[in-house]
Chains A and B, each alone.
Chain A
């Protein structure tokens, strides 16, 4: 049963995380080009562009949050892991990991709730781009909602380990 749930979650999470990180990588390409364009227009052509600063900032925000599911699945969140390492090979480690993932979900839920309110208030227009701020404010709550699925997958995986049911490797490649 648990294996089935884990497989189902993985089937959703892996492609979502991979696509998110690819789009994030694409946004980094665009950010680089925009800032280089800014350099050329300001210093070479003497005609500063008004939109490059804002657009590159917005792209950076999207880039970071689009990568969040993969950051979670690949355990790239920075943490002090000495206690977890001391508990290596012990069952209680899996219990602790379940608690940690549950706490992460709580944090996400709080952020999503207030993020949604913030999103609803974003009716103002961006300074230099023809979009409302809602487009940008949507990134954190949306991607956190998706990342909760990754956290749930991790919980099921740890639960299986805790119950000694063996585990499939879930290394999501980019």
Chain B
């Protein structure tokens, strides 16, 4: 038996700034050393290899790669132009454009950070040009681009599916309605908040000709999620194969059809994604070893007993879990948070009758919103860097948007059909 004290070591190591990878390796090692059970380190070590040796995980670098080609291949302009023709005439039009663009971007890249950078670089100066407050522009960009990891395909949904052995296709389909709900909620907040900025300029409604032209220009990039989801759902491809096909499609689109990306720029992107994906994959492997230590320590049982001592009511449990995950998301990135907490928390919820896919999507949405919450939200940092507005100022203005997102999290927690209704309808669950 490993002493559950290693969980405390893990937290201390994380809090002093030790990277997640080393905290995952060191904490169980210290506990095993204390318990004089160093031989078990063999098993932990093997996970550094076996924890990564999975065909499904290949989808992670592939989705990242497809997103990289898309972002650098000129889709941002097309998506934003299309969004402008659809929603610019409403009150706070450019705010709506950011939200709609972020929603569509989510379906193309699966990365919130890439979306914040790409949309922010174009839209924040544009909004300022039409008398929007720069801080407001940065805040709405950060709040909206969390949709990147919620609207499928999503890297962190893939990680959850891998860790919890759930269907990737069902996870992806389950993310669609919550993503659209968040999009709607953010638009409502924008409509309400924009009253504080009466100086912003209004736009005319786009004519049918302008809309059709913008739609035509955006059609090819927007086919990417159709290929991915259609391919997986139709049983044509496995998720990994669909991701590889998406890479090929994004490459052909960016280099040969839209001709924005130069062929000589392609290999450096492969290298960049190899590095970024490598950093995540090694953590996935280390987390697999950590999960073995968790199961051997019995700490999961203690945590389960703790939660059940509070309540066994599924709704109340969901409420408490959401608060817990929201706090975790404020400090920890979504990927590592899922790797560490999903194997502990998901069984607690499934024991009281919550579907693991339902819980997984709520967890993903919650931790994605955490990317935009102070003090450690990665998306906030990027929005601050892109806009030049200090983090503290954005953190204040973003609050109404975060409240709306929190309400959506509770809504999808307590009404499962909003999450798993679509995949059930399609016969995937």
Which residues of A are in contact with B by a Cβ distance under 8 Å? 21-22, 24-29, 31-32, 35-36, 38-39, 43, 53, 56-57, 60-61, 63-68, 70-71, 74, 76-84, 96-97, 99-100, 103-104, 106-107, 110-111, 114-115, 117-118, 136-137, 140, 174
Contacts and interface: CB of A to CB of B under 8 A. Distances in A.
B37 to A, nearest CB: 13
B45 interface: yes
Contact of A57 (B13, B19, B55, B267): B55
A25 B267 contact: yes
A174 B275 contact: yes
Nearest to A104: B22
Nearest to B13: A103
Contacts of B236: 43
Interface in B228-286: 236-237, 240-241, 244-245, 247-248, 267-268, 270-283, 285
Given A43-B236, A106-B26, A57 B58 contact: yes
Contact of B279 (A67, A82, A115): A67
B244 A83 contact: no
B22 A31 contact: no
23 contacts: A24-B278, A25-B267, A25-B268, A25-B274, A32-B62, A32-B248, A35-B58, A35-B240, A36-B244, A36-B248, A43-B237, A61-B49, A63-B274, A64-B278, A64-B281, A79-B18, A80-B17, A103-B18, A107-B21, A110-B29, A110-B41, A114-B44, A118-B49
A148 to B, nearest CB: 12
A14 B333 CA distance: 28
A60 B277 CA distance: 10
B17 A79 contact: yes
A38 B25 CA distance: 35
Given A64-B52, A107-B22, A110-B41, A31 B275 contact: no
B274 A27 contact: yes
Contacts of B65: 28, 32
A158 B42 CA distance: 33
A78 B336 contact: yes
A77 B24 CA distance: 12
Contact of B17 (A38, A65, A96, A137): A96
Nearest to A174: B271
A140 B25 CA distance: 14
A74 B282 contact: no
B211 to A, nearest CB: 35
Contacts of B41: 110, 114
Contacts of A56: 55, 58
A151 to B, nearest CB: 10
Interface centre among B15, B54, B244 (most CB of A within 10 A): B244
Contact of A77 (B15, B20, B277, B281): B20
B126 interface: no
Nearest to A77: B19
**Across the A-B interface, the 4 shortest Cβ-Cβ residue pairs:** A25-B271, A77-B19, A114-B45, A67-B278
Contact of B45 (A22, A65, A80, A118): A118
Nearest to B17: A84
Contacts of B281: 60, 64
Given A29-B267, A39-B241, A61-B53, A67 B275 contact: yes
Nearest to A38: B241
Given A25-B270, A71-B278, A78 B248 contact: no
